[in-house]
């Protein structure tokens, strides 16, 4: 096998595919990536056997076909240190040669026969969504998953498909993020609603693989897995098992008070109040009074803080306690100039933050006798 590659393109390919390569695994073979060269294409493949990716490397000149396993991190480090735009890669027997300019590296190359297969995209029935829309929807939900949880399917993002819409939902049982966006179907005659739960790791990989805003992303859902084609990448993932909570029941249907806020100033005061918190005293009191929101925090070994923000609140005085991290994480995925509404019921029940583009975030308050 012999080929000439555009180094920046090869660097990108290794960066993306390395996203699924496990740092620790009893199966040493999974620490490698498979380079498959045939049919005029060079494809880099990686998997942890839960999530897999096939990445077609652009800008490759192929002299001879073949396949080989390469140590992912070692090759990625070499490519980062090289400075030439072109890289020659050649495999002879059990050795892989990487050459660029005056530099030459010889690495042990393993037989690719034992490497686990990674699914290709070959479905004629799939959903299509804009890359820009999907990337933003993932960004607004994946942070709310609970990758450590063994309950339900909290370690993934629920994706609900309708004929012309798609809803993403994620929760860790303390907060809930929901985004609804437009999509379309191809080759699907039925209107059955699909509700796969996609692992958060796969969603993050899909997000990072979407390069162009105007590219279409194709999503094919099967009984046990999902396969996504975006740009140069085809990503496959085993669906999360378990029942995702009925998130619709969690979203309050009405509120007693509603406050309009701008993201930038609101995030600034939340971050200030968060400074004077610790693991034992994590909560921040959000005290609403006429025309003002006051954030108060205290920690026995640190001190106290009090930060005020003028707001358009005209209701009765209300103090509700939140973990400021959960509020800040929601605000960070928005633009500083974005407007949002903060909907409240009382000090004990969930609050809702909404934007005008179908993004809903529900956050549970902390007990005030913490």
Task: Look at residue 370 and tell me whether its pLDDT is greater than 50.
Answer: no
**By percentage, how much of the chain surpasses pLDDT 70?**
97
Which CATH number applies to 126-248? 3.10.150.10
For residues 171 and 243, the answer to whether their CB atoms sit within 8 Å is no
Residue closest to 282 by CA, chosen among 199, 365, 352: 365
Give the pLDDT band of residue 189 (cuts 50, 70, 90): low
Query: Residues 209-220: pLDDT tens digits?
Result: 998 888 999 999
Tokens coding 111: 């037989």
CA distance linking residue 300 with residue 281, whole number of Å: 8
334 secondary structure, DSSP code: S
Kind plus residue range of the DSSP H or E element containing 221: strand 216-221
Task: Give the fold, CATH level 3, of 252-363.
Answer: DNA Polymerase III; Chain A, domain 2 (3.10.150)
Task: Look at residue 306 and tell me whether its pLDDT is greater than 90.
Answer: yes
Determine the pLDDT at residue 151: 66
Question: How far is the CA of 236 from the CAs of 19, 50, 116, 242, 284, in angstroms?
Answer: 13, 8, 13, 19, 41
Query: Residues 129-139: pLDDT tens digits?
Result: 999 999 999 99
CA distance linking residue 69 with residue 111, whole number of Å: 6
In CATH terms, the superfamily for domain 2-108 is DNA Polymerase III, subunit A, domain 2 (3.10.150.10)
Task: Look at residue 62 and tell me whether its pLDDT is greater than 60.
Answer: yes
Query: Residues 273-299: pLDDT tens digits?
Result: 998 887 777 899 999 999 999 999 888
CA distance linking residue 335 with residue 347, whole number of Å: 28
Task: Count, in order, helices (H) and strands (E) of the chain.
Answer: 6, 26
CA distance linking residue 336 with residue 73, whole number of Å: 37
Residue span(s) of the chain under CATH 3.10.150.10 come to 2-108, 126-248, 252-363
More confident residue, 243 or 336: 336
pTM above 0.85, yes or no: yes
Determine the pLDDT at residue 46: 96
């Amino acid at each position: 096998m012999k080929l000439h590659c555009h180094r920046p393109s090869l660097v990108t390919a290794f960066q993306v595919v390395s996203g699924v390569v496990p740092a620790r695994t009893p199966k040493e073979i999974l620490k490698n990536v498979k380079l498959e060269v045939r049919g005029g294409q060079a494809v880099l493949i990686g998997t942890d056997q839960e999530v897999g990716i096939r990445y077609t490397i652009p800008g490759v000149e192929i002299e001879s076909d073949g396949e080989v396993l390469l140590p992912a991190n070692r090759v990625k480090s070499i490519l980062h240190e090289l400075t030439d735009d072109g890289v020659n890669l050649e495999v002879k027997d059990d050795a892989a040669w990487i050459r660029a300019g005056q530099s030459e590296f010889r690495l042990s190359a393993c037989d690719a026969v034992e490497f686990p297969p990674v699914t290709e995209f070959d479905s004629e029935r799939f959903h299509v969504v804009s890359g820009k829309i999907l990337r933003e929807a993932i960004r607004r939900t994946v942070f709310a998953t609970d990758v450590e949880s063994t309950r339900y399917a909290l370690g993934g993002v629920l994706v609900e498909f309708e004929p012309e819409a798609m809803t993403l939902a994620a929760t860790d049982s303390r907060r809930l993020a929901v985004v609804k966006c437009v999509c379309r179907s191809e080759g699907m005659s039925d209107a059955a609603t699909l509700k796969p739960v996609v692992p958060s790791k796969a969603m993050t990989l899909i997000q990072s693989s979407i390069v162009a805003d105007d590219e279409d992303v194709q999503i094919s859902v099967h009984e046990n897995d999902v396969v996504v084609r975006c740009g140069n990448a085809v990503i496959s993932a085993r669906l999360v098992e378990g029942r995702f909570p009925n998130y619709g029941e969690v979203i309050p249907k009405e509120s007693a008070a509603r406050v309009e806020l701008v993201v930038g100033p609101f995030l600034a005061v939340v971050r200030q109040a968060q400074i004077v918190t610790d693991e034992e005293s994590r909560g921040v009191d959000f005290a609403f009074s006429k025309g003002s929101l006051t954030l108060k925090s205290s920690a026995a070994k640190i001190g106290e803080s009090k930060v005020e923000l003028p707001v358009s609140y005209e209701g009765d005085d209300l103090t509700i306690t939140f973990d400021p991290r959960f509020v800040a994480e929601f605000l960070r995925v928005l633009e500083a100039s974005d407007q949002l509404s903060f909907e409240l019921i009382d000090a004990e029940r969930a609050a809702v933050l909404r934007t005008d583009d179908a993004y809903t975030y529900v956050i549970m308050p902390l007990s005030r006798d913490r």
